[in-house]
């Protein structure tokens, strides 16, 4: 019987004894390294958010090295999964910058919106945990959301210098009129 990604979790695909389990492990380690590196490099974000992003990355790596058992769960796997999902949900709020020229992804409105979307996806995922037919889809939606937001924040930070230069040019042009 083939693996059904819509109904079965990522953890089930990475279970000890599954063929190609290593693919899931490598992907989780890769995501973890990316989150950790982003947390270290994202100096525009408030420090608590950066720390939470690093913890989320470490959690992803620890999930990879603590797979579920073939029959039954794994307390370390579940604990690191819970830690990871909590910190990856709240890091946008902890990273907020309130300065008027803060990058878009670090502004309160964007951070609260990102967290609200993640919370809604988590409600869906939690409902699916109780024998829902879309568990895998809900889990993938949450993990995609939590992996895409750091990228969008980083891109918004990279866009700030260009925006500041453009704004300065517009202000200079307005003064010369």
3-class DSSP state for residue 42? coil
**Is the pLDDT higher at 15 or at 149?**
149
Res 170: pLDDT: 62
Res 19: pLDDT: 80
Cα–Cα distance measured from residue 158 to residue 145, given in angstroms and rounded to the nearest whole number: 20
Residue 1: is it exposed, middle or buried by C-beta count within 10 angstroms (0-12/13-18/19+)?
Answer: exposed
Res 115: pLDDT: 98
For residues 80-97, average pLDDT: 97
Cα–Cα distance measured from residue 58 to residue 31, given in angstroms and rounded to the nearest whole number: 10
Report the phi/psi class of residue 17: left, alpha or beta, with left for phi > 0 and alpha for psi in -120 to 50. Answer: left
Lowest model confidence (mean pLDDT) among 60-64, 108-112, 115-119, 171-175 = 171-175
pTM recorded for the entire structure: 0.86
Exposure of 158 in the CB half-sphere (CA atoms within 13 A): 8
Res 8: pLDDT: 81
Residue 165 has pLDDT above 60, yes or no: no
Q: Which tokens is 71 given?
A: 């029959």
Cα–Cα distance measured from residue 96 to residue 112, given in angstroms and rounded to the nearest whole number: 9
Res 137: pLDDT: 94
**Is the pLDDT higher at 97 or at 165?**
97
Mean pLDDT score across all residues of the chain: 89
Cα–Cα distance measured from residue 74 to residue 122, given in angstroms and rounded to the nearest whole number: 21
Q: Which tokens is 161 given?
A: 């210098």
Which pLDDT band, with edges at 50, 70 and 90, does 173 fall under? low
């Amino acid at each position: 019987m083939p693996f059904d990604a819509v109904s079965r979790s990522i953890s089930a695909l990475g279970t000890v004894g599954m063929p190609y389990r290593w693919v899931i492990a490598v992907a989780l380690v890769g995501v973890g390294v990316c989150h950790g590196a982003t947390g270290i490099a994202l100096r525009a974000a408030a420090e608590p958010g950066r720390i939470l992003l690093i913890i989320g990355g470490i959690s992803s790596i620890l999930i990879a090295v603590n797979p579920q058992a073939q029959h039954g769960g794994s307390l370390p796997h579940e604990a690191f999964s819970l830690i990871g999902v909590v910190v990856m949900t709240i890091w946008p709020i902890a990273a907020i910058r309130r300065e008027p020229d803060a990058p878009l992804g670090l502004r309160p409105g964007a951070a609260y919106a990102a967290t609200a979307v993640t919370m809604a996806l988590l409600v869906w995922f939690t409902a699916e945990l109780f024998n829902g037919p879309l568990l895998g889809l809900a889990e993938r939606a949450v993990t995609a959301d939590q992996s895409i937001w750091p990228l969008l924040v980083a891109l918004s930070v990279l866009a700030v210098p260009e925006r500041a230069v453009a704004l300065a040019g517009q202000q200079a042009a307005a003064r010369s009129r």
